[in-house]
Structure 1
Amino acid sequence: MRSAFQEELDLISEQLVQMSRLSATALQRATASLMGTDLNVAQQVISDDQLIDALRRDLDNRAIDVLARQQPVATDLRQMVTALRMSSDLERTGDLARHVAKLTRLRYPAHALPEALRPLFAEMATTAEAMVLRAGEIIGSKDAGGATELMKADDTMDRLHREVFQTLLEPGQTWPAQVTVDATLLSRYYERYADHAVSVALRVVYLVTGVWHDETLPGDDGRYPGSVPRGDA
């Protein structure tokens, strides 16, 4: 019985890793469609989001079935509940990639972004994609220390997010209202995408340690000072 339960847990973990990879691919392609005004690629990203949604439904159904059949307690229960929350985070990253593609489709054949803003968004996309892929690796290895790495990457994303607004508000620079709105939305999509990757990593910390860290950076020694355990369940 225990062996079968562990196999289910391993499969759920593999599905989470697969979701992270699908999401990274979706964002990479959505960004390519944004930069190149490629309607076909944008449409494919929108259509393919159903694959991530289906994987989340399958994972959630599997987890609920395991909860019902195995009645896990303590650490095992924590693994199942955490997996359900991580699947929600990863499904949301796929939705955000779809939003980028939808905005590209909405503005086609015009560019949604002026050329001056594209380098900033290209860097945001690269950062976000790397973060969700790393989140998948952290899930697979149960590397609680990886959360520190992702939170530092999120600092980079936050800086880029601010730079977008600084550019839009630059004195003497006048942007059309539509450009301002679109750039604001897109910046938010990428920034939130990165936030979900961090959330996944923090859930892995909780899974491994039994302690929830509300986006508090661990100490340099790899330990998590000042946190309050929530119990083993």
Structure 2
Amino acid sequence: MREVFQQELREVQDRLVEISSLVEGSIENAVRAFNDSNVALAETVIEDDTKIDALAAELDEHAIQILARQAPVARDLRIVVSALRISASLERMGDIAEHIAQLARYRFPDKVVPTSLRATFAEMGRLDVEVAHKLTELLRTEDTRLAEEIRDEDDKIDALHLSVFDKVLGETWKGGAAETVDATLASRYHERFGDHAVSIAKKVRYLATGDWAPQRAGA
């Protein structure tokens, strides 16, 4: 029975990695659609979100069945409960990728943001894709160094997010109402994507080490 239980826990991890890989692909396509005004890619992201939702729901059901059948305790219980919470965050990350793609679709054939902000959003998108890649690897390997790297990348996304607000609220901003709303929403989506990745990374790090909040170097 113990061997069966351990196999079920490994399946939970494998399913999380599968979902994370799909989210990684979605954010990569969403960023390209957003930056290049590629409506075909945007439609792909929107359609693929239903796959992420379905897999997350299946994982949740699997985890609930484990709780009911095996009544896990201690670390095993934390693994299953954490999987439910990680699944929810991954599902939300897929939704955020979809929101970014929807902005690209709505504004097609125009680009979502004006020229003055395109370099900023290109960098935010690159960082989101990098975070998603590291997150998939973290879920696969539980290498806690990746959790630290995700946090550091998220700090960069946060700084860019603030710079967007500084730009649209500045006296030199010449965008209209639609451009202001689009830039604000898009920046928030990029920033929230990174936040969810950090939340997952903290949970994985806790499972691997027993510590919630590592102290930053020099702190």
TM range (shorter): over 0.9
After TM superposition, the score normalised by the length of structure 1 is: 0.88
Is 1:120–2:120 an aligned residue pair? yes
Cα distance in 1 between the residues matched to 2:18 and 2:89: 13
SS of residue in 1 equivalent to 2:144: coil
Question: Which consecutive aligned stretches of 4+ in structure 1 deviate over 4 angstroms post-superposition?
Answer: none
Cα distance in 2 between the residues matched to 1:129 and 1:102: 17
The worse-fitting range, judged by mean Cα deviation, of 80-89 and 11-20 is: 11-20
User: Structure 2 stretches of 5 or more lacking a match?
Assistant: none
Cα distance in 2 between the residues matched to 1:35 and 1:167: 18
User: Structure 1 stretches of 5 or more lacking a match?
Assistant: 226-233
- Counterpart contact for 1:112–1:182, Cα < 8 Å: yes
CA RMSD of aligned residues (A): 1.8
Q: Where do residues 28-107 of structure 1 align in structure 2 (5 Å cutoff)?
A: 28-107=28-107
Cα distance in 1 between the residues matched to 2:212 and 2:74: 15
Name 1:231's counterpart in structure 2: none
In structure 2, give the amino acid aligned to 1:28.
Answer: E
Percent of aligned positions that are identical: 43
In structure 2, give the amino acid aligned to 1:218.
Answer: Q
Q: Which structure dedicates a bigger proportion of its chain to helix?
A: 2
Name 2:215's counterpart in structure 1: 218
- Counterpart contact for 1:20–1:136, Cα < 8 Å: yes
CA deviations over 1:120-170 (Å, ceiling 9, x no partner): 111111101111221221122223343222211111111111111222233
Cα distance in 2 between the residues matched to 1:145 and 1:42: 33
SS of residue in 2 equivalent to 1:212: coil
Cα distance in 1 between the residues matched to 2:195 and 2:202: 11
Name 2:182's counterpart in structure 1: 182
Q: How many residues align?
A: 219
CA deviations over 1:108-128 (Å, ceiling 9, x no partner): 232211122111111111101
- Counterpart contact for 1:143–1:204, Cα < 8 Å: no
After TM superposition, the score normalised by the length of structure 2 is: 0.93
Cα distance in 2 between the residues matched to 1:159 and 1:145: 22
Cα distance in 1 between the residues matched to 2:67 and 2:172: 60
**Structure 1's 38 and 4: CA in aligned 2 closer, same or farther, altered over 3 A?**
same
